[in-house]
Structure 1
Amino acid sequence: MTIGVAIIGSGNFVREEHLPGVQASEAFDLKAIYSRSLQSAETLGNGVSGVDLYSADAGPGKGYDDLLGRSDITAVIIALPILAQPAFISKALAAGKHVLSEKPIAKDLVTAQDLINLQNSRIVNRKTIWAVAENFRYMSKFVRAAEEVRRLGGITNFRVVMRSMIKPGSKYHKTEWRRNPGYQGGFVLDGGVHVIAALRLILGQGDGLAAVAAHSSLQQEHLAPVDTVDALVKTRSGATGVVSVSYGSEINDSVFEFTCVDGVVTLDFDRLTVNGKSQDVPFEGRGVNKELAEFAESISTGAGLATRLRPEEALADLEVMECIFNSSEKDGEKRNLHLQI
């Protein structure tokens, strides 16, 4: 039996990934689309048959609460601005709907913990699933890199560099909530949490991150408050590394490099090199289809939420980012991590 689902949001990622992913899935039956305005809901739903449209300005019977009141909608996929998401997640969980919400889990740890507490409370049915989407945990190149690192034994040192330029007027900079963020870190939180998720995936739970000390800067005024962070990090075993993330860089770079007991693993964009032998990892999409498949399976089998979708994983990602920002505000003061799993 298919799962009746509604998509909440109509932004770039919904249009490029969530909508086509749901349409291609045999597990889901798209019932409705909700957006802040009816116009944006209509734009997303253009050409999609059999889907009802809801929005904040659509009039009586067509609001978010009305959508949540439908018995044929079992699950919702929420991809809204960072500050808007928590209220929509809370309402959906309280209404007994399974939720897949986009990363980051929330704007800060306090808000994220409140959501997790709600999920664990008596208000929410124990069978109701809340999953947090992080597509980097599903992308083939990061999964392959993680496999090779495991094969070569413990990590002793690592380097992660992710640099690019978010230009004025680009599709992501056009969104008002990104141009004027009301949350810590601006673009670095929104994009950097992907980088941390990939790093944590490759490090594995056997040797999680333990401490961070960082500095931040602003290279491009249109990306305020910060667009660049450089951090020294340490794992529980004592392995050390550097993490450098910038969205205001003239250099375009993507490198994940790990020195292990039995060799070196380097992922340079899509090229994976293990002990000097290189091969390109074929691009198999941005991982959203795999997220959706695990979300659907978690609902239909009742076997529990897939590990990569657990809110606690997203909480651990956010803790690293928040500690980077807090450390940079204190001139690189060390921050210990307590929520890593």
Structure 2
Amino acid sequence: MSPIPGIALLGAGLFAKEAHLPAIANLGSAAPPLRAVYSRSLKSAQDLASAAESTLKLTSPPNIYHDGDPSANLDTLLARSDVGVVIVILPITTQPDVILKSLAAGKHVLSEKPVAKNVKSGIYLIKEYEEKYKPKGLIWRVAENFEAEPGYRAAGQAIRDGKIGKVMFFRLQGINNLDQDSKWYKTPWRTVPDYQGGFLLDGGVHSAALLRVVLPSPVTHISSFASLNKDYLAPLDTINAVVKAEDGSHGIFELSFAAPTSSRSSSGNGFFVTGTDGWLEVANAKIKDGVNGIRITIHIVTKDKNGKILDEKVELIEEESKGVEAEISHFLEIIKGNDGGLGDPWGALKDVAFIQACLDSQGQLVDLGLPGRT
């Protein structure tokens, strides 16, 4: 059983219902009981509470908090002694103030990616945490499910184990067709974003995290062009970049939400890493009875002493997609004193810096040098 008295979900959007609630359900008794939910509106808070009652098979719904009632607002929720952890799933520009308010109330915080809307605000937020709240023993981590995804971590481990030799070059392609009927587009705060890049920041930090998890060396330099191709995806919807890693390897990074049709989205997407002794492909796939997962196909080359290729064998790794469950589980372990490194805000800041550089480069070389951990 979890030693934490209870948990609250702050934010009642799609991802809270479709990702966080099922993840908490899958964790079973390892997760603290869900005590409360909060949203800006009463209706959305009620909808989340109802979904929680069903998904978690509760005998009664969690308590509801919202901005429309001063006696049941966020401050009232945060004053509860039986809530030790909050998961913040709010719009990008709203989250930082809520993170700091939650920490000030003595709560451990897991906040959805990105860490902040830009590098400057992210650095401020991290330093506030490290100077004021970390010394008190409070834990704050950023929920980046691609970083926690078992399949992506397995791909990174295969490379670190030397299965494809030294990395020479790579290509990550994520082309998406996001139309105005999409449930993700219809989210009001995404429709008129007040943060850089629109969907390129909101969704792009996932791809940046994928590079960070799989490549054995961090990306240090970027030269990129960004453009807007569909007006409703303003300010920008497409990135094409050349990137270089610290170990000298380099690659292509392509991200777009402006594909003309869904068929373009299903053609060529994936992450390909080529090494001196083989290559691997990381792709979404249906695995074991149609379950969504990650498939890693590793091509391993055997050479003789003169470098002549003797054989090429293929190794397959498949992992069920459970990044949200993994990030929450790891966060709860950190609170108990077992820190495996996931969700570090400085790592999440690197993902924001990557996307920000892609948006700002305009073909110029950008050095990704960032202040390090204090």
What is the CA–CA distance in structure 2 between the aligned matches of 1:90 and 1:102, rounded to whole Å?
A: 14
**Alignment pair present for 1:334 and 2:365:** yes
Q: Which has the larger radius of gyration?
A: 2
Q: CA deviation at 1:227?
A: 0.7
Q: Contact between 1:209 and 1:340, CA under 8 Å: does it hold in 2?
A: no
Secondary structure of the corresponding residue to residue 248 of structure 1: coil
Q: CA deviation at 1:95?
A: 1.3
Q: Taking structure 1 as reference, are residues 176 and 50 closer, same or farther at Cα in structure 2, changes over 3 Å only? A: closer
Q: Contact between 1:267 and 1:273, CA under 8 Å: does it hold in 2?
A: yes
Spell out, residue by residue over 1:99-136, the C-alpha distance to the aligned partner (whole angstroms, 9 max, x if none): 00000001001111111011111355431000101101
Question: Relative to structure 2, which stretch is displaced further, 178-187 or 143-152?
Answer: 143-152
Q: Structure 2 counterpart of 1:132, which letter?
A: V
Q: Quote the residue 1:273 is aligned against.
A: 297
Q: CA deviation at 1:281?
A: 5.0
Secondary structure of the corresponding residue to residue 308 of structure 1: coil
2:209 counterpart (197, 200, 207): 197
Give the TM-score, by structure 1 length.
0.93
After the TM superposition, which residues 32-111 of structure 1 pair with which residues of structure 2 at under 5 Å, given as runs? 32-46=36-50, 48=53, 49-57=60-68, 59-111=69-121
Q: Contact between 2:151 and 2:321, CA under 8 Å: does it hold in 1?
A: no
1:323 counterpart (335, 357, 364): 357
Q: Quote the residue 2:173 is aligned against.
A: 161
Q: Which runs of 5+ in 2 are unaligned?
A: 54-59, 286-294, 300-311
Q: CA deviation at 1:266?
A: 1.6
Q: Contact between 1:217 and 1:227, CA under 8 Å: does it hold in 2?
A: yes
Identity fraction in percent: 38
Q: CA deviation at 1:160?
A: 0.7
Q: Structure 1 counterpart of 2:227, which letter?
A: S
Question: Relative to structure 2, which stretch is displaced further, 24-33 or 144-153?
Answer: 144-153
What is the CA–CA distance in structure 2 between the aligned matches of 1:9 and 1:173, rounded to whole Å?
A: 17
Q: Contact between 1:179 and 1:223, CA under 8 Å: does it hold in 2?
A: yes
Q: Structure 2 counterpart of 1:199, which letter?
A: L
Give the TM-score, by structure 2 length.
0.85
Secondary structure of the corresponding residue to residue 102 of structure 2: helix
Q: CA deviation at 1:217?
A: 1.2
What is the CA–CA distance in structure 2 between the aligned matches of 1:242 and 1:43, rounded to whole Å?
A: 42
After the TM superposition, which residues 78-157 of structure 1 pair with which residues of structure 2 at under 5 Å, given as runs? 78-122=88-132, 125-150=135-160, 151=162, 152-157=164-169
Q: Quote the residue 1:20 is aligned against.
A: 22
Secondary structure of the corresponding residue to residue 13 of structure 1: helix
What is the CA–CA distance in structure 1 between the aligned matches of 2:237 and 2:367, rounded to whole Å?
A: 23
Q: CA deviation at 1:277?
A: 5.2
Q: Quote the residue 2:291 is aligned against.
A: none
CA RMSD in angstroms, aligned pairs only? 1.8
What is the CA–CA distance in structure 2 between the aligned matches of 1:279 and 1:44, rounded to whole Å?
A: 42
Q: Quote the residue 2:244 is aligned against.
A: 234
Q: Taking structure 1 as reference, are residues 269 and 51 closer, same or farther at Cα in structure 2, changes over 3 Å only? A: closer
Q: CA deviation at 1:180?
A: 0.4
Q: Taking structure 1 as reference, are residues 244 and 38 closer, same or farther at Cα in structure 2, changes over 3 Å only? A: same
Give the number of aligned pairs. Answer: 333
Q: CA deviation at 1:39?
A: 0.6
Q: Structure 1 counterpart of 2:123, which letter?
A: Q
Q: Which runs of 5+ in 1 are unaligned?
A: none
What is the CA–CA distance in structure 2 between the aligned matches of 1:124 and 1:237, rounded to whole Å?
A: 33
Q: Taking structure 1 as reference, are residues 222 and 281 closer, same or farther at Cα in structure 2, changes over 3 Å only? A: farther
Secondary structure of the corresponding residue to residue 220 of structure 2: strand
What is the CA–CA distance in structure 2 between the aligned matches of 1:286 and 1:226, rounded to whole Å?
A: 30
Q: Contact between 1:316 and 1:340, CA under 8 Å: does it hold in 2?
A: no
Q: Taking structure 1 as reference, are residues 140 and 24 closer, same or farther at Cα in structure 2, changes over 3 Å only? A: closer
What is the CA–CA distance in structure 1 between the aligned matches of 2:201 and 2:154, rounded to whole Å?
A: 25
